[in-house]
Structure 1
Amino acid sequence: MSNRTKPTPAQRIRYICGGTLPPSMAQWVIDDLTGPGSARRYLLRILVPVIAPLCLFLLIPGPSWIGPAMMALLYLPLIYFTAALMHVYRRHRLTAHGLDATLADARNRARSAAERAAYERRHGRG
Protein backbone atom coordinates (compact mmCIF):
# COMPACT_ATOMS: atom_id res chain seq x y z
CA MET A 1 0.00 0.00 0.00
CA SER A 2 1.39 3.35 -1.01
CA ASN A 3 1.58 6.34 1.34
CA ARG A 4 1.96 8.87 -1.47
CA THR A 5 0.12 12.14 -0.96
CA LYS A 6 0.19 13.24 -4.60
CA PRO A 7 -0.83 11.14 -7.61
CA THR A 8 1.64 9.85 -10.16
CA PRO A 9 1.06 10.93 -13.78
CA ALA A 10 -0.77 7.65 -14.49
CA GLN A 11 -2.95 8.06 -11.39
CA ARG A 12 -3.68 11.66 -12.35
CA ILE A 13 -4.87 10.64 -15.83
CA ARG A 14 -7.05 7.93 -14.30
CA TYR A 15 -8.41 10.48 -11.79
CA ILE A 16 -9.20 12.98 -14.55
CA CYS A 17 -11.06 10.22 -16.42
CA GLY A 18 -13.21 9.53 -13.35
CA GLY A 19 -11.18 7.03 -11.35
CA THR A 20 -10.55 7.23 -7.63
CA LEU A 21 -7.29 7.68 -5.80
CA PRO A 22 -6.05 5.83 -2.69
CA PRO A 23 -7.14 7.17 0.73
CA SER A 24 -3.63 8.50 1.37
CA MET A 25 -4.32 11.16 -1.28
CA ALA A 26 -7.59 12.37 0.26
CA GLN A 27 -6.20 15.83 1.08
CA TRP A 28 -4.97 16.23 -2.50
CA VAL A 29 -8.45 15.34 -3.78
CA ILE A 30 -10.07 17.85 -1.40
CA ASP A 31 -7.65 20.57 -2.52
CA ASP A 32 -8.20 19.68 -6.18
CA LEU A 33 -11.99 19.80 -5.92
CA THR A 34 -12.47 22.68 -3.49
CA GLY A 35 -9.22 24.65 -3.37
CA PRO A 36 -8.11 27.71 -5.30
CA GLY A 37 -8.41 27.21 -9.05
CA SER A 38 -10.76 24.23 -8.74
CA ALA A 39 -13.41 25.76 -11.02
CA ARG A 40 -10.81 26.54 -13.68
CA ARG A 41 -9.37 23.01 -13.51
CA TYR A 42 -12.84 21.46 -13.72
CA LEU A 43 -13.83 23.52 -16.75
CA LEU A 44 -10.54 22.88 -18.56
CA ARG A 45 -10.69 19.12 -17.92
CA ILE A 46 -14.10 18.89 -19.55
CA LEU A 47 -14.13 21.61 -22.19
CA VAL A 48 -10.66 21.31 -23.75
CA PRO A 49 -10.61 17.59 -24.69
CA VAL A 50 -13.87 17.83 -26.67
CA ILE A 51 -12.50 20.47 -29.01
CA ALA A 52 -10.53 17.94 -31.08
CA PRO A 53 -13.52 15.72 -31.91
CA LEU A 54 -15.65 18.79 -32.61
CA CYS A 55 -13.08 19.90 -35.19
CA LEU A 56 -14.21 16.98 -37.33
CA PHE A 57 -17.24 19.12 -38.21
CA LEU A 58 -14.84 21.36 -40.12
CA LEU A 59 -14.41 18.52 -42.64
CA ILE A 60 -18.08 18.52 -43.63
CA PRO A 61 -18.48 19.85 -47.16
CA GLY A 62 -20.52 22.97 -47.73
CA PRO A 63 -20.28 26.65 -46.91
CA SER A 64 -17.44 27.60 -44.58
CA TRP A 65 -19.83 28.61 -41.80
CA ILE A 66 -21.49 25.17 -41.50
CA GLY A 67 -18.66 23.46 -39.58
CA PRO A 68 -18.21 26.19 -36.95
CA ALA A 69 -22.00 26.54 -36.60
CA MET A 70 -22.36 22.81 -35.93
CA MET A 71 -19.50 22.96 -33.44
CA ALA A 72 -21.15 25.87 -31.66
CA LEU A 73 -24.49 24.04 -31.49
CA LEU A 74 -22.79 21.36 -29.43
CA TYR A 75 -20.11 23.35 -27.59
CA LEU A 76 -22.20 26.23 -26.24
CA PRO A 77 -24.71 24.00 -24.40
CA LEU A 78 -21.76 21.93 -23.14
CA ILE A 79 -20.23 25.07 -21.60
CA TYR A 80 -23.54 25.99 -20.00
CA PHE A 81 -24.26 22.55 -18.53
CA THR A 82 -20.66 22.02 -17.44
CA ALA A 83 -20.77 25.23 -15.43
CA ALA A 84 -24.26 24.52 -14.11
CA LEU A 85 -23.36 21.03 -12.88
CA MET A 86 -20.02 21.94 -11.30
CA HIS A 87 -21.36 21.70 -7.75
CA VAL A 88 -23.02 18.33 -8.43
CA TYR A 89 -19.77 17.02 -9.96
CA ARG A 90 -17.70 18.13 -6.96
CA ARG A 91 -20.06 16.49 -4.50
CA HIS A 92 -20.08 13.28 -6.55
CA ARG A 93 -16.28 13.14 -6.78
CA LEU A 94 -15.89 13.74 -3.03
CA THR A 95 -18.39 10.97 -2.28
CA ALA A 96 -16.68 8.61 -4.74
CA HIS A 97 -13.45 9.08 -2.77
CA GLY A 98 -15.20 8.31 0.53
CA LEU A 99 -15.12 11.96 1.64
CA ASP A 100 -17.88 14.15 3.04
CA ALA A 101 -19.80 15.77 0.18
CA THR A 102 -20.40 18.89 2.28
CA LEU A 103 -16.73 19.78 1.82
CA ALA A 104 -17.82 21.13 -1.58
CA ASP A 105 -19.75 23.84 0.29
CA ALA A 106 -17.04 24.74 2.81
CA ARG A 107 -15.85 27.95 1.11
CA ASN A 108 -19.41 29.17 0.57
CA ARG A 109 -20.34 28.49 4.20
CA ALA A 110 -17.21 30.29 5.44
CA ARG A 111 -17.92 33.28 3.19
CA SER A 112 -21.58 33.39 4.30
CA ALA A 113 -20.58 33.22 7.96
CA ALA A 114 -18.11 36.09 7.49
CA GLU A 115 -20.73 38.19 5.69
CA ARG A 116 -23.29 37.45 8.40
CA ALA A 117 -20.83 38.41 11.16
CA ALA A 118 -19.98 41.67 9.34
CA TYR A 119 -23.69 42.43 8.91
CA GLU A 120 -24.38 41.81 12.58
CA ARG A 121 -21.45 44.03 13.61
CA ARG A 122 -22.69 46.86 11.35
CA HIS A 123 -26.22 46.66 12.63
CA GLY A 124 -25.49 46.25 16.33
CA ARG A 125 -26.24 42.57 16.79
CA GLY A 126 -22.74 41.24 17.33
Structure 2
Amino acid sequence: MSDATTPGFAQRIGYVFGRTLPASMADWVVDDLTGPGATRRYLTRILVPIIPVLCLFLLVPGPLWMGAAMMALLYIPLIYFTVALMYVFRRHRLIQHGLDPALADLDARRRAEADRLDYERRHGRA
Protein backbone atom coordinates (compact mmCIF):
# COMPACT_ATOMS: atom_id res chain seq x y z
CA MET A 1 0.00 0.00 0.00
CA SER A 2 1.13 3.56 -0.58
CA ASP A 3 1.70 6.10 2.17
CA ALA A 4 -1.69 7.73 1.56
CA THR A 5 -3.52 4.51 2.36
CA THR A 6 -1.35 3.17 5.21
CA PRO A 7 -1.12 4.94 8.58
CA GLY A 8 2.21 6.10 9.88
CA PHE A 9 3.53 5.32 13.35
CA ALA A 10 1.77 8.24 15.08
CA GLN A 11 -1.49 7.49 13.27
CA ARG A 12 -1.30 3.82 14.27
CA ILE A 13 -0.80 4.74 17.92
CA GLY A 14 -3.78 7.10 17.71
CA TYR A 15 -5.81 4.38 15.98
CA VAL A 16 -5.01 1.88 18.73
CA PHE A 17 -6.22 4.42 21.29
CA GLY A 18 -9.49 4.98 19.41
CA ARG A 19 -8.82 7.84 17.00
CA THR A 20 -10.37 7.85 13.55
CA LEU A 21 -8.14 7.57 10.50
CA PRO A 22 -8.71 9.58 7.30
CA ALA A 23 -11.12 8.20 4.70
CA SER A 24 -8.20 7.40 2.38
CA MET A 25 -7.22 4.62 4.81
CA ALA A 26 -10.63 2.91 4.82
CA ASP A 27 -9.31 -0.20 3.07
CA TRP A 28 -6.56 -0.53 5.67
CA VAL A 29 -9.11 -0.18 8.49
CA VAL A 30 -11.35 -2.87 6.96
CA ASP A 31 -8.37 -5.19 6.56
CA ASP A 32 -7.21 -4.47 10.12
CA LEU A 33 -10.63 -5.19 11.61
CA THR A 34 -11.77 -8.08 9.42
CA GLY A 35 -8.74 -9.42 7.54
CA PRO A 36 -6.41 -12.28 8.39
CA GLY A 37 -5.04 -11.95 11.91
CA ALA A 38 -7.70 -9.43 13.01
CA THR A 39 -8.63 -11.47 16.07
CA ARG A 40 -5.00 -11.85 17.12
CA ARG A 41 -4.37 -8.11 16.70
CA TYR A 42 -7.51 -7.21 18.65
CA LEU A 43 -6.65 -9.49 21.56
CA THR A 44 -3.01 -8.37 21.61
CA ARG A 45 -3.94 -4.68 21.66
CA ILE A 46 -6.17 -5.16 24.69
CA LEU A 47 -4.64 -8.00 26.71
CA VAL A 48 -0.89 -7.32 26.47
CA PRO A 49 -0.69 -3.65 27.63
CA ILE A 50 -2.52 -4.43 30.89
CA ILE A 51 0.04 -7.05 31.99
CA PRO A 52 2.59 -4.55 33.42
CA VAL A 53 -0.16 -2.85 35.39
CA LEU A 54 -1.32 -6.17 36.80
CA CYS A 55 2.27 -7.06 37.72
CA LEU A 56 2.04 -4.37 40.39
CA PHE A 57 0.06 -6.93 42.41
CA LEU A 58 3.28 -8.90 42.74
CA LEU A 59 4.59 -6.07 44.92
CA VAL A 60 1.90 -6.67 47.56
CA PRO A 61 3.52 -8.06 50.73
CA GLY A 62 2.86 -11.73 51.19
CA PRO A 63 3.38 -14.94 49.29
CA LEU A 64 3.94 -14.68 45.54
CA TRP A 65 0.92 -16.85 44.80
CA MET A 66 -1.33 -14.25 46.44
CA GLY A 67 -0.23 -11.52 44.03
CA ALA A 68 -0.58 -13.94 41.12
CA ALA A 69 -4.07 -14.90 42.29
CA MET A 70 -5.11 -11.24 42.45
CA MET A 71 -3.77 -10.78 38.92
CA ALA A 72 -5.72 -13.81 37.73
CA LEU A 73 -8.92 -12.55 39.37
CA LEU A 74 -8.76 -9.51 37.11
CA TYR A 75 -7.11 -10.96 34.00
CA ILE A 76 -9.32 -14.01 33.43
CA PRO A 77 -12.59 -12.03 33.31
CA LEU A 78 -10.83 -9.46 31.10
CA ILE A 79 -9.99 -12.22 28.62
CA TYR A 80 -13.56 -13.50 28.72
CA PHE A 81 -15.17 -10.10 28.15
CA THR A 82 -12.62 -9.10 25.52
CA VAL A 83 -13.46 -12.17 23.47
CA ALA A 84 -17.20 -11.80 24.08
CA LEU A 85 -17.25 -8.16 22.94
CA MET A 86 -15.01 -8.58 19.89
CA TYR A 87 -17.89 -8.40 17.39
CA VAL A 88 -19.35 -5.33 19.10
CA PHE A 89 -15.94 -3.62 19.04
CA ARG A 90 -15.45 -4.38 15.34
CA ARG A 91 -18.86 -2.99 14.44
CA HIS A 92 -18.21 0.13 16.53
CA ARG A 93 -14.84 0.78 14.88
CA LEU A 94 -16.33 0.30 11.40
CA ILE A 95 -19.15 2.74 12.18
CA GLN A 96 -16.63 5.16 13.70
CA HIS A 97 -14.75 5.21 10.38
CA GLY A 98 -17.93 5.64 8.32
CA LEU A 99 -17.88 2.07 7.00
CA ASP A 100 -20.63 -0.53 6.72
CA PRO A 101 -20.96 -2.36 10.06
CA ALA A 102 -22.05 -5.49 8.19
CA LEU A 103 -18.40 -5.95 7.22
CA ALA A 104 -17.74 -7.10 10.81
CA ASP A 105 -19.14 -10.55 10.07
CA LEU A 106 -18.33 -10.74 6.37
CA ASP A 107 -16.16 -13.84 6.82
CA ALA A 108 -18.89 -15.69 8.73
CA ARG A 109 -21.45 -14.80 6.06
CA ARG A 110 -19.12 -16.06 3.32
CA ARG A 111 -18.66 -19.37 5.16
CA ALA A 112 -22.41 -19.72 5.68
CA GLU A 113 -23.05 -19.04 1.99
CA ALA A 114 -20.44 -21.62 0.98
CA ASP A 115 -22.00 -24.16 3.37
CA ARG A 116 -25.46 -23.42 1.97
CA LEU A 117 -24.28 -23.83 -1.63
CA ASP A 118 -22.47 -27.06 -0.73
CA TYR A 119 -25.63 -28.38 0.99
CA GLU A 120 -27.79 -27.51 -2.00
CA ARG A 121 -25.31 -29.10 -4.41
CA ARG A 122 -25.16 -32.33 -2.40
CA HIS A 123 -28.93 -32.58 -1.93
CA GLY A 124 -30.01 -31.70 -5.44
CA ARG A 125 -31.27 -28.14 -5.08
CA ALA A 126 -28.64 -26.45 -7.22
Q: Common fold, TM-score beyond 0.5? A: yes
> Which consecutive segments of 4 or more residues in structure 1 shift more than 3 A?
none
Residue 64 of structure 1: how far off its partner (Å): 1.7
Residue 98 of structure 1: how far off its partner (Å): 0.5
In 2, distance between residues paired with 1:21 and 1:64?
43
- Alignment size in residue pairs: 124
TM-score relative to the length of structure 1? 0.97
- Specify the alignment match of 2:88 in structure 1: 88
- Specify the alignment match of 2:43 in structure 1: 43
- Look up the equivalent residue of 1:8 and give its one-letter code: G
Q: Could you give the per-residue CA deviations for residues 2-57 of structure 1, whole angstroms, max 9, x where no partner exists? A: x7100010000000011110000000000000000000000000000000000000
Gaps of 5+ in 1: none
* Equivalent residues in 2 for 1:90-109, closer than 5 Å: 90-109=90-109
Residue 63 of structure 1: how far off its partner (Å): 1.5
- Specify the alignment match of 1:123 in structure 2: 123
TM-score relative to the length of structure 2? 0.97
In 1, distance between residues paired with 2:105 and 2:65?
42
Q: Could you give the per-residue CA deviations for residues 48-82 of structure 1, whole angstroms, max 9, x where no partner exists? A: 00000000000000122110000000000000000
- Look up the equivalent residue of 2:44 and give its one-letter code: L
- Identity fraction in percent: 68
- Specify the alignment match of 1:53 in structure 2: 53
Instruction: State the superposition RMSD in angstroms.
Output: 0.8
Residue 105 of structure 1: how far off its partner (Å): 1.3
Gaps of 5+ in 2: none
Q: Could you give the per-residue CA deviations for residues 77-114 of structure 1, whole angstroms, max 9, x where no partner exists? A: 00000000000000000000000100111111111000
